[in-house]
Structure 1
């Protein structure tokens, strides 16, 4: 198996990124992996216009992981309020659990720490995602106790099938 290669996304990657992110979180395909949100969110997981702005703005990088030229994972990392922010973490469902996500998270942390000289990485995780919270805790992230409301009524982020969703903020010093 060839090495994992990282690069910054461009506008030419938009369609492939939308397809990857959707496959990791929505619909039956997402249930092949462990990151699915299909049991409590329907509809979009990513908005193409928001994604393009994330690709183009300063101190923001949509990071792509490729193997043999195939897009197999991605994440968005940016500067937000004096720290790095990590989101849109997606790995092809059939490849989850093989270390790709851990490598992508480590590369994202490297960018924030070494290239942008920021002291910490933050993220938001839907509070009912116990397995995902545990995954991040094993990598040094901690719950901050800060909770944020879920954007109910904004279909760009999905259509909730339950009314008790909220975000937990996690943080790791770099």
Structure 2
């Protein structure tokens, strides 16, 4: 891994690249090159161009791109919700996972939330069955709030579940 990460806000011209990155990190055979795959839990799409466009255009929202050596290495979405910020759409190119890129992107997003909007808490939802991913976030200072919410079964824009017990857990970190 050479070169530093360069961060910038995504524009509508980046929509297709963001969709492709997120899909490659979580779904299908390509996602198995990294450790963040959800391929054993879900089929179908992880996001779509309309969702990414909406995130880019939303108020108090930024889709962050992390580029290394001129190519897209990672992305995330940060959106202000009062004194909290929501962290989502987090994806690292599966071939670049495990080398510290994700940690750098998270640190950048947390600093952005603090400095741009004065947020005091970062929160995210994670599929509760993703214990390896939750453990990664716990090592980064996040805690499981115990708040659970149902997976949106029957809404294919979130994916096609391969099991019937999926639910989300809310994680948060004081900034």
Please indicate, yes or no, whether the TM-score normalized by the shorter chain is above 0.5.
yes
In structure 1, how many angstroms separate the alpha carbons of the residues matched to 2:47 and 2:135? 24
TM-score calculated relative to the size of structure 2: 0.97
TM-score calculated relative to the size of structure 1: 0.98
Cα deviation for residue 86 of structure 1 reads: 0.4
Runs of at least 4 residues off by over 2 Å: none
Count residues in correspondence. Answer: 174
Q: Residue 120 of structure 1 aligns with which residue?
A: 121
Kept in 2, the 8 Å contact 1:76–1:87? The answer is yes
In structure 2, how many angstroms separate the alpha carbons of the residues matched to 1:82 and 1:118? 5
2:50 is paired with a residue whose SS is helix
Kept in 2, the 8 Å contact 1:54–1:62? The answer is yes
Q: Residue 152 of structure 2 aligns with which residue?
A: 151
Kept in 2, the 8 Å contact 1:78–1:84? The answer is yes
Unaligned runs of 5+ in 2: none
Cα deviation for residue 38 of structure 1 reads: 0.4
Kept in 2, the 8 Å contact 1:82–1:118? The answer is yes
In structure 2, how many angstroms separate the alpha carbons of the residues matched to 1:113 and 1:76? 15
Kept in 1, the 8 Å contact 2:62–2:79? The answer is yes
Answering whether residue 99 of structure 2 is matched by residue 98 of structure 1, we say: yes
In structure 2, how many angstroms separate the alpha carbons of the residues matched to 1:2 and 1:161? 39
Answering whether residue 36 of structure 2 is matched by residue 35 of structure 1, we say: yes
In structure 2, how many angstroms separate the alpha carbons of the residues matched to 1:131 and 1:50? 26
2:51 is paired with a residue whose SS is helix
Kept in 1, the 8 Å contact 2:83–2:118? The answer is no
Deviations along 1:151-174, one digit per CA (max 9) or x if unpaired, are 111111100010000000000000
In structure 1, how many angstroms separate the alpha carbons of the residues matched to 2:130 and 2:139? 14
2:33 is paired with a residue whose SS is coil
Kept in 1, the 8 Å contact 2:146–2:170? The answer is yes
Write the mapping of 1:122-141 to structure 2, written as runs, cut at 5 A: 122-141=123-142
Cα deviation for residue 81 of structure 1 reads: 4.7
Cα deviation for residue 57 of structure 1 reads: 1.4
**Aligned CA-pair RMSD:** 0.8
Unaligned runs of 5+ in 1: none
